[in-house]
Amino acid sequence: MHWFIVDFYCHHLKLVIEVDGAYHNNKKQIIRDRKRTQLLESQDLTIIRFTNNQVLNSIQTVLKRNKKQYENNLQQHPPLGGHRGANEYEIIPKQHPSSGEARG
C-alpha cells in the first residue's frame, strides 16, 4: 500500500476504508488526500471515505455503504475456490510478534 497507513484494509477485496477527522477539511490536507487516493487507486484499490461524524451519527448508512462496496468488490475479486458469502468471512486476530498474544 505504498508508504501509507490506512484505517482499514482488506487485501483480498482490494478495499481501503478511511475514517477522516476534522483536519481532513484543511485545504492542504484535502490536496494530500486527493493525491494519496489517486496513488492508491493506481494500485487497483478501491477507497471509500467517511467522516468521524458519519461514523458516530449515521452508522447504519456507513454500514450499508460498506456492505454494498464489499459485495461489488467480492464480485470483481472472488476468492480462490469459489464464491463465499458475507457471513463466511471471519476476523482472525494477529499474533503479537514479541509475546505471542492475540491482538484485535
Q: Which has the higher per-residue pLDDT, 65 or 81?
A: 65
Q: Which of 7, 22, 20, 86 is nearest to 55 (CA)?
A: 20
Q: Is 45 exposed, middle or buried (0-12, 13-18, 19+ CB in 10 A)?
A: buried
Q: What is the pLDDT of residues 33-75, one digit of tens each?
A: 999 999 999 999 999 999 999 999 999 999 999 999 999 988 8
Map out the domains of the chain as residue ranges. 8-80
C-alpha to C-alpha distances, 43 to 5, 15, 19, 40, nearest whole angstrom: 15, 11, 20, 5
Write down the pTM of the prediction: 0.68
State which amino acid sits at residue 88.
E
With residue 67 as reference, give the H or E element that holds it: helix 59-76
Per the CB < 8 A criterion, the answer to whether 54 and 48 are in contact is no
